[in-house]
């Protein structure tokens, strides 16, 4: 069987300990994505097994119908809307999903909060240019960073990642305010935190607001420009979840209007994000290339169950197939 691992941007998968499970198998690792349905269909037409790294490639019905040899789709992390499981089931293509882990994205979220609050990238970059203790060449933006102690962290979405971020904030002496489902707010109160009375209160009261929602049709564009405009003029918006949680152009417009003061982002509406993207042009945006889960320990956790499933499938052993035709 021919196996393809898609979108391994850093060519890191082959260096994982768990990659040894695929030793002796016919494996092709693609570092870069193909543009368009036609190119992708041509690239993948001869493969029996596809290994997806999160949502980097979309396997919709149209693409699946053009992959005649495909027998197994393996997803690192949980399956999302980027894979048409129903279309796979109709073609009797097995689908296996992996496991998730909140630690790496929670730690990255906290790193972004610290870096943006103290303006670490700006100070470091200007120091390399010979400019001492400066955060901007614009006198109006050449301002001091600030500490987190005593300030309010707003968290929208109190799942496993949101809970970890709340614990980090508590360790730094921040007040934590949570908004989300009724169950999430009740759990936050049980954990000793404050539940916002409304979504608007969360935006108004937060010095730092971090989004931790799963993307669905209900949450797509759930944050709009009006709500962003409710934030304090010195507030920070953090998004390490999904760019599509925020309405198109809303964040760019809000940042240009001065509320919030800054944003720290690990996710974008187009990925890989082009250097001409409007948000990358803004001085008050700290951006990272969707690396929430991109680190050594997470990769080992994500890929181990996937490679175990591939190994089992190739050798005729049972796997946990979630694509069952009803």
Same-domain pairing of 120 and 234: yes
Is the same domain home to 170 and 235? yes
Classify residue 127: in a domain, yes or no.
yes
Q: 263 and 125 in one domain?
A: yes
Are 248 and 143 in the same domain? yes
β-pairing, 175-179 vs 152-156, is: parallel
Q: Which entry of 54, 151, 259, 290 is annotated as an active-site residue?
A: 290
Whole-number pLDDT of residue 35? 79
Among candidate residues 225, 271, 295, 308, the one labeled active-site is 271
- Diameter over CA atoms, the chain: 67
Q: What does pLDDT average to over the chain?
A: 96
User: How many structural domains does the chain have?
Assistant: 2
CATH number of the domain residue 54 falls in: 3.40.50.720
Bridge partners, residue 95, by sequence = 73
Shared domain for 309 and 283, answered yes or no, is no
Q: How far apart are CA 107 and CA 166, in angstroms?
A: 11
Residue 253 belongs to domain spanning: 103-287
In a domain, 325, yes or no: no
Residues 310 and 232 in one domain: no
Residue 77 has pLDDT above 90, yes or no: no
Say yes or no: 176 and 271 in one domain: yes
Please measure the distance between the N-terminal and C-terminal CA atoms of the chain and give it in whole angstroms: 27
Annotation marks residue 160 as catalytic? no
User: Could you tell me the pTM of the whole model?
Assistant: 0.93
177 and 264 both lie in a single domain: yes
What's the pLDDT score for residue 170?
98
* 208 within a domain of the structure (yes/no): yes
Once rounded to an integer, what is the mean pLDDT over residues 18-40? 93
Active site residue 221: no
Mark whether 131 and 225 lie in a shared domain. yes
Dump pLDDT digits (tens) for 125-152.
999 999 999 999 889 889 999 999 999 9
Q: With respect to residue 57, please indicate whether it lies within any of the assigned structural domains.
A: yes
- Distance CA(142)–CA(132), nearest Å, equals 12
- Single out the catalytic residue among 242, 252, 259, 301: 242
pLDDT above 80: residue 326:
no
- The answer on 256 and 188 residing in a single domain is yes
């Amino acid at each position: 069987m021919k196996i393809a691992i898609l979108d391994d941007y850093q060519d890191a998968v082959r260096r994982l300990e768990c990659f040894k499970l695929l030793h002796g198998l016919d494996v092709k690792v693609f570092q870069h994505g193909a543009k368009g349905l036609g190119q992708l269909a041509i690239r993948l037409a001869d493969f029996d097994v596809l290994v997806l790294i999160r949502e980097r490639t979309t396997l919709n019905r149209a693409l699946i119908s053009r992959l005649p040899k495909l027998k197994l789709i393996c997803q690192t992390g949980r399956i999302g809307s980027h894979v048409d499981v129903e279309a796979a089931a109709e073609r009797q293509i097995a689908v296996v999903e992996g496991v998730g882990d909140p630690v790496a994205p929670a730690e990255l979220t906290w790193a972004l909060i610290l870096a943006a609050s103290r303006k670490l990238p700006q100070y470091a970059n200007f120091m390399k240019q010979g400019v001492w203790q400066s955060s901007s060449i614009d006198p109006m933006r050449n301002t001091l960073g600030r500490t987190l102690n005593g300030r309010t962290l707003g968290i929208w979405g109190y799942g496993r990642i949101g809970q970890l971020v709340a614990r980090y904030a508590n360790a730094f002496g921040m007040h934590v305010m949570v908004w989300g489902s009724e169950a999430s707010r009740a759990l936050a109160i049980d954990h000793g935190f404050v539940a916002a009375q409304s979504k608007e209160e969360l935006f108004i009261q937060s010095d730092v607001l971090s989004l931790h929602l799963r993307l669905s049709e209900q949450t797509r564009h759930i944050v709009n420009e009006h709500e962003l405009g409710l934030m304090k003029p010195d507030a920070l918006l953090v998004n390490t979840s999904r760019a599509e949680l925020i309405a198109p152009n809303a964040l760019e417009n809000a940042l240009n209007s001065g509320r919030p003061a800054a944003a720290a982002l690990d996710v974008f509406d187009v990925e890989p994000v082009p250097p001409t993207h409007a948000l990358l042009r803004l001085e008050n945006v700290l951006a990272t290339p969707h690396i929430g889960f991109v680190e050594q320990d997470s990769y080992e956790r994500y890929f181990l169950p996937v490679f175990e499933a591939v190994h089992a499938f190739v050798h005729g052993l049972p796997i946990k197939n979630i694509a069952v035709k009803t």
